[in-house]
Structure formats: structure tokens, C-alpha cells
Amino acid sequence: MPVNIPSLLPEQLLPITGITLGVAEAGIKKPDHKDLLVMLLDDDVRVAGVFTQNRFCAAPVIVAKEHMAVSSIRALVVNTGNANAGTGEEGLAHARATCNALAEILGCNVQQVLPFSTGVIMERLPIEAIVKGLPKAAANLKPDNWFAAAQAILTTDIVPKAVSKQIQLDGKTITITGIAKGSGMIRPNMATMLGFVATDAAISQALLQEMAQYAADRSFNRITVDGDTSTNDAFMLLATGTAGHAEIISRESAGFVQLQEAITAVAAELAKMIVRDGEGATKFISIQVDAGKNPQECTKVAYAIAHSPLVKTAFFASDPNLGRILAAIGYAGIDDLDVNGIQLYLDDVLVVENGGRANRYQEADGQRVMNQSEITVRVVLNRGAATTTVWTCDFSYDYVRINADYRS
Amino acid sequence: MPVNIPSLLPEQLLPITGITLGVAEAGIKKPDHKDLLVMLLDDDVRVAGVFTQNRFCAAPVIVAKEHMAVSSIRALVVNTGNANAGTGEEGLAHARATCNALAEILGCNVQQVLPFSTGVIMERLPIEAIVKGLPKAAANLKPDNWFAAAQAILTTDIVPKAVSKQIQLDGKTITITGIAKGSGMIRPNMATMLGFVATDAAISQALLQEMAQYAADRSFNRITVDGDTSTNDAFMLLATGTAGHAEIISRESAGFVQLQEAITAVAAELAKMIVRDGEGATKFISIQVDAGKNPQECTKVAYAIAHSPLVKTAFFASDPNLGRILAAIGYAGIDDLDVNGIQLYLDDVLVVENGGRANRYQEADGQRVMNQSEITVRVVLNRGAATTTVWTCDFSYDYVRINADYRS
């Protein structure tokens, strides 16, 4: 079950002027599940995005990048139940056909539509079902459909992931609303499975793209469930410019930092929800690596711990078998690491120093922290001033069950 | 249950003249389990070894390396149930005390003893129990104790792992006998958890060390269970020189290649046994990556597949959800990979070409292979002439059970 995700009421998600959303049941997933989402954007909405670095990137990712390079964007279309990845030329044709069908309905150019898919890899996209479902999704476009949209993009996720936030800027209220999905195959590299964050702030295209990367690097690019980087990861940031404040055109503009932090906070909250709803997750683990020589080595250590099946199963068992964390630090790839200089903390409990168990460490203290549903592992490398935090979950029977059963 | 490991009779393991072995129950593991092994070497036995690259390497690894650098070796001592890793200065003192106690019993120098430990990390070594057990192990030293030795070094392993092999060289019969242990925390980097291979061949120290590295690189360094590189990995190669042939003193010496291949074959057989008895394993998977630009990129792709929890759970489920393999290839870290040029085979079945499902691929063919207990995944990169094979197992409920329960 998801780890401490507060349940959400549809009305807690604030609409963004300039964006409407419609969902439909196209019949790609099992019956009685919405599996198709259309987002319609007003003329002036700016769109930025970051995509998976997986070389086997999905057909919709390829097409979305192509379209963003040549055109302004008027619509996004998302199907779940099928990733349209590892589908070769036919997959590309299907992604383009999806955009084309929606463009005809909305009366825009095919290149103004961005396609997104999530689900099983290497299966033919049921293009007929999608084309048939698009008019239904387009028929119920509404500004306050964010909750339905968050539901429609789920796959193995248990709960919808969405958040709204408001900040004051230049005397105006800026609203940010975001949705995301993802539960397994989660180790985003540039972005997560699917994340969409929209704001009514006014900001230049270049700065919006920069902000998308900034936010992704501090949110979706800091989470892992199973170390598997998806073929379909995409994080999209939309800005409608309808809030009425002066447009942000440089990093020195009033509100740039404020907006960047607010968008990053929304992205981070969504990213953490993905971990909290990670496949089979029973615990939410923050791994903070401090005092490294550079962020890269902190990240190496953090992911070595976050990906170790032995560490993850120990968390599942609430077993303070913390030597497994030492082993992961040791093989993280820092060749000149002096293990005698390291400290390891579990929340506030000092576990390791001087290359071994800390003198004042008592197993009962470790056990107390391991029993919690939220735990911070802190490694102090004592080699510099860099720091990184990565979020992950434990590894349970249910992860195996979910992934052994996924297609059946 | 172990995947296709033939059961072994003690008499199938051939003694090596110049080496005797003794085991005892020191009470480190649970009652009625042998957990202490002593190997006594005649004066002229040559010893080579390769050790873990984990920075948190265990106290016995540090001490063994020290002793090998300064002294000929007369004895090896192995305890299971406790890794003596992450134990700081006290751990080093305990490893030295173990050597010292055995040296006194055997009448040799403390530096002529090499210590090895395997078991839980970050627990104090029960040095009193070990010191008390050593005379018992030394009292039953026998040349034909290899099977008992293979049993005494197990931890979460289900079956003992041992093999003997003979070759003819210079009119003489050369015998090679090896034992190994390891089941979880298996992703050796230089060597596996614990592997000991002995031969009565006569070979110079320098060539013996070279052969140890050669064999490790083609056996223990090609296996993974869970991607966790242990703190205690060690692979030791012993040569007694008692077979009566002319000593091998250069790579051009008669028998050098023959011996090297035979030792590598023994090491590879032991390494594969570790995978077959991997924690929770139900399948044995060979991952062969062909036609890469260099061995490094083949290895990256092979380990990306071998470590993917999604791929491993699909094997457990016998589910030909093979898109997961594509995703792993895609994130393996080859930045200029052209996915349209790749072929993916499951045994003899062509699954993927031209960036997607092969035209003649039928799911029934994939299902037939996935149902087997032994499967070869073959990726053809079509970028060069390099090739690598890695051996791994699937990921089952039992892996989680074993590692959630390990200490309790």
C-alpha cells in the first residue's frame, strides 16, 4: 500500500486558466478504466519538457521531441496500457496517427500535438481503439478535470498523484498544478514516467525549458524504485501566462527564483508520491549523502544504497542489518574512499564511524528507526562540501508479485 | 531450489597431495553446523589470490593481503556466520588473533596464515569461539576432506559447491579440486564470496597469480545474483607442485595453456554453481552480448539486463514480457547505440529486430523458451567483434523471504 500519501479531493486541484482536460475509456486497459487523456492548450501556452535518456526510447517520445522542435503546441494526448516502445517503424506511424486524429478533431496542425504512452513495452499500440476514443475525450474537455486526468494516466499505480500550489508574485496569485504517474520501472534519467505540471505564470520559452530541467534534476531525477529507467519517461512543464503579472524574461526578473522553487516543490512532491506508491512499497526512504567531493560521487553512493536489493529487503523486514549499507557504500565506485572517515546515520542515530559500529550505537536504537514507515539514511563522506538526496522505497514480496503478474 | 546442480558424492572430490583440510563446529552459526575450516599446506605450496574491490573490504581481506605480501603461506582459516566486515580496528585485531591462534597450533609464523570470513556484516567476530574451535579443526586434518570443507563454508547456500578435474600434462596426471560458497550479495568484482581451487601442478608464483586473475575474470567475475558486491570476496588458487611434471615457468612452457584452461573451467563451473544456488533462484540465465565495439560495452549491456529487477521477475514468472529486456539495453549506458541495428534472441528464437518485434516472432515461441529452467538471452549489437557472457538467475519471492529473514 502507498506510504503516507494523503488522499486527495478533486476540488483540491486548482484549474489553470488556458488549459482544459478530457478523459475517456478507449478500451486499452481492462474494462471500466479510463485510459486516454487529452489536454487542450490555448494559443499562447508555452510548453517545455525533458525526456528519457533510454536509447530504446518510445515512439511517442521521438515524435514529441520532433513536434516540439518545429511547432507551438496546442494539445497533449496520453494513453496508458501500452507504451508504444520497441515497436519500430510501425510504432512511429501509430504515434503520428494518434496526433493526426486529434489534430483533425481540434482543428490544429498535426505537429501541434504531443503524444505520450505508458504501459507494456513491445506490444502493438491499439491505434484503432485510440482513434475511436479521442472524440469522447475531446467531448468532455473541462478546466477542472485534473483529478480525472491523474486517474486516467495510472498503470500499476494504486493512487492518483496530483498537487496544487499557489504563490504570490507581483501582486498576483500564481497557480501551479501537477499530475504524475509511475510505480515500477522507475529510475528516471531526465524525467519520470509521466509528469505534467502547469502554471498560469508568464515566462519566456527559454526560461521555462531551463526551469523544467532544473525541477526535474531536483525531483524526478532523484527517485528510484527498481533502478529500471523507462523507455517513456517524460516531464512536461506548461505555462499559460494568464495570471496577469509581468512576464519573466530573465533570471533577474521579479519572481524567477520564487517560481522556480515553487515548480520544483510541486515536481518534488509528485516525484515522492511515485516512490510512496512504488510497486510493493511499504516504506519511504530518503538517502542523503553529505560532505562528498562533488555531487557525482554523492549520487553514486546514494544510488548504490537505493538500488541494493539486500538493503531494500532489510528495510522491508525492518531489520537493522546495516552492514548491507556499508557494503553498498563500498562498491559505489569511489576508488579512493577512506572508509574509516565515514559516518552512517539512521535518522538521528549514529550507526557507523571509524570503519565499524559506533561505540554508542545500540541495536535497539537502529530497530526503533527501522520500524518506522519513513526513514532517512545519512552518509557523511567527510571529503568535501557536496550533498545529494535520493528517494526510494523498500523491496517486498509485492514487488515480485506485481511484476511476475503484470501482463497476466 | 538450486537450478540443476548435480548432487555430489564426497569421493568424487579428489585430494591434492600437499594439502589437508579440517572442519569444526565453533558455534558461530546455528547449532549442528560446521562453521570453521582449516587448510594446511605443505612447505612448498604456492598461493595466489584475488580479492574484493569493495572499499569496505573486510578485516580478513586486509590481513590476508598483508600476509601474502610478506610471507609464504602454510595455512588458510575460514569461518562462516560472521563476515568480520565493517568492524574497524577491533575487526583487524580479531583477524590477526585468529591467525595467531592457528599459527601456535600448527607451529608456523602468524604471517603464514590467511584468514577468511563470510556471514553477517558489522557484527563483532566471536573470536573466543573461533579460538576454541581451531584445535578441533586442526585435529581432523585430512587430504580427503574437501566435501566437508565445501559444506563448512556455506551460509545461505543450499548445496555445497565443489568440483574436481584431471588433465594429462608431460605424461603426468594433474588434478584440480575447487570449492566455493556464495548465494546472495553476489556480484563479484575480482573474485567471488569465497572460492578455493587447488592443484598439484608445478607452476611459478608469478604465473599462478596471473592464472588466478585470468580464471576469475572468466568465471567469478562474470556472475551476478543481486548486483551487490560483497565485502569479503576472495578467490584463492593453490598449487602444490607434487604432480611430478616439469615446472611451468613461462607462458611458453608445455602445459601452460592447458592448465590455464582447466583451472578456468573449474572456476567457471564453481561460479555457475553459485548462480544456480543463487538466493531464491528458480532459473539459470546466460546473457550473451555479441558484436559489440569492445568488451566493456558488451559487459555493460549484459549486466544491465542481469540486474534489472523487472527482467528477473519476468523470468521468475516465465512471462515473455521481453520489452523489459529492451528497456535495460536502452539504459545500459551506450550513448551512441542505434537500437534499430540490434537483434535480441531468446535461445534460438529471434524476438527483436529493426527496433521492434521481429516479423516472424510468435509469443508462443517466446513462451516455450521462458518455461525452461535454463535460458540464454543473446543480444547482437552489430557494432563490432567483441563478446561477453554473464550468468545470473531470476528474482523470486524466496529472494525477498531469504533476505528479509536472514538475521532472524
Q: Do A405 and B317 touch (CB under 8 A)?
A: yes
Query: With a CB-CB cutoff of 8 Å, which residues 66-105 of chain A face chain B?
Result: 83, 85-91
Mean of all residue pLDDT scores within chain B = 92
Listed in sequence order, the residues at least 6 apart from A122 whose beta carbon sits closer than 8 Å to its beta carbon are A85, A86, A87, B322, B323, B326, B352, B356, B357
Write down the residue that cell numbers 593453490 correspond to: B238
pTM given for the model: 0.86
Range(s) within chain B of domains with CATH label 3.60.70.12: 10-276
CA pair distance B233, B221, nearest whole angstrom: 11
What is the per-residue pLDDT for B406?
60
Is residue A65 within 8 A of residue A23, CB to CB? The reply is: no
- State the sign of the Cα–Cα–Cα–Cα dihedral B305, B307, B308, B312: positive
Q: B57: number of CA atoms within 13 Å, CB side? A: 24
Q: Is the pLDDT of residue A188 over 80?
A: no
pLDDT band of B31, cuts 50, 70, 90: confident
Residues of B in contact with A326 (CB under 8 A): 56, 85-86, 121-122, 231
Q: Do A355 and B226 touch (CB under 8 A)?
A: no
* A79-128 confidence digits (pLDDT tens): 999 999 999 999 999 999 999 999 999 999 999 999 999 988 889 999 99
What is the per-residue pLDDT for A147?
96
pLDDT band of B191, cuts 50, 70, 90: low
Q: Is B157 on the interface with A (CB under 8 A)?
A: no
Q: Do B400 and A401 touch (CB under 8 A)?
A: no
Q: Is A316 on the interface with B (CB under 8 A)?
A: yes
Helix, strand, coil % in chain B, rounded to nearest 5 = 35, 25, 40
What is the per-residue pLDDT for A408?
46
Is residue B84 within 8 A of residue A356, CB to CB? The reply is: no
CA pair distance A55, B270, nearest whole angstrom: 35
Write down the residue that cell numbers 567471488 correspond to: B192
Q: What is the dihedral of CA B385, B386, B389, B395, to 10 degrees?
A: -100
H helices present in A193-330, as ranges: 205-217, 256-276, 295-307, 309-316, 323-330
Residue type, A47: V
What is the per-residue pLDDT for B232?
83
CA pair distance A73, A113, nearest whole angstrom: 6
Overall size of chain A counted in residues: 408
* A353-391 confidence digits (pLDDT tens): 999 999 999 999 999 999 999 999 999 999 999 999 999
What is the per-residue pLDDT for B141?
97
* B132-174 confidence digits (pLDDT tens): 999 999 999 999 999 999 999 988 888 899 999 999 988 899 9
What is the per-residue pLDDT for B139?
97
Residue type, B209: Q
Average pLDDT over residues B291-301: 96
pLDDT band of A157, cuts 50, 70, 90: confident
Range(s) within chain B of domains with CATH label 3.10.20.340: 284-405
Provide the shortest C-alpha distance from residue B279 to chain A (in Å): 11
pLDDT band of B2, cuts 50, 70, 90: confident
Is residue B42 within 8 A of residue B65, CB to CB? The reply is: no
pLDDT band of A402, cuts 50, 70, 90: confident
Pick one of 3.40.50.300, 3.60.70.12, 3.80.30.20, 3.90.220.20 as the CATH number of A10-276: 3.60.70.12
Name which of B226, B313, B404 is nearest A317 (Cβ-Cβ): B404
Query: With a CB-CB cutoff of 8 Å, which residues 111-130 of chain B face chain A?
Result: 120-124
Pick one of 3.40.50.300, 3.10.20.340, 2.60.120.260, 3.40.50.2000 as the CATH number of A284-405: 3.10.20.340
Average pLDDT over residues B352-369: 94
Q: Is the pLDDT of residue B255 over 60?
A: yes
H helices present in B308-345, as ranges: 309-316, 323-330
CA pair distance B408, A206, nearest whole angstrom: 56
The percent of residues above 70 in pLDDT, for chain A, comes to 98
* A26-74 confidence digits (pLDDT tens): 999 888 889 999 999 999 899 999 998 888 889 999 999 999 999 999 9
Is residue A39 within 8 A of residue A76, CB to CB? The reply is: yes
Average pLDDT over residues A297-325: 94
Whose CA is closest to A407, among B323, B362, B54, B297? B323
Average pLDDT over residues A216-235: 86
Provide the shortest C-alpha distance from residue B250 to chain A (in Å): 33
Is residue A29 within 8 A of residue A80, CB to CB? The reply is: yes
What is the per-residue pLDDT for A285?
96
A192 is annotated as an active-site residue: yes
Average pLDDT over residues A145-153: 95
Q: How many residue pairs from chains A and B have C-beta atoms closer than 8 A?
A: 229
| Buried/exposed code over A113-130 (b: 16+ C-beta within 10 A; e: otherwise) | bbbbbbbbbbbebbbebb
What is the per-residue pLDDT for B408?
46
Listed in sequence order, the residues at least 6 apart from A69 whose beta carbon sits closer than 8 Å to its beta carbon are none
Q: Is the pLDDT of residue B64 over 90?
A: yes
Residues of B in contact with A228 (CB under 8 A): 308-310, 324, 327-328, 331
Listed in sequence order, the residues at least 6 apart from B321 whose beta carbon sits closer than 8 Å to its beta carbon are A120, A121, A406, A407, B314
Burial class (CB in 10 A: 0-12, 13-18, 19+), B317: buried
Residues of A in contact with B189 (CB under 8 A): 331
Grid cell, residue A269, equals: 512532491
Q: Is the pLDDT of residue A189 over 90?
A: no
- Of the candidates B52, B98, B155, B192, the residue annotated as catalytic is B192
Q: Do B356 and A87 touch (CB under 8 A)?
A: yes
Q: Is the pLDDT of residue B407 over 70?
A: no
Q: Is A359 on the interface with B (CB under 8 A)?
A: no
Q: Do A321 and B120 touch (CB under 8 A)?
A: yes
pLDDT band of A145, cuts 50, 70, 90: very high
Cα nearest neighbour of B122 on chain A:
A323
Provide the shortest C-alpha distance from residue A113 to chain B (in Å): 24
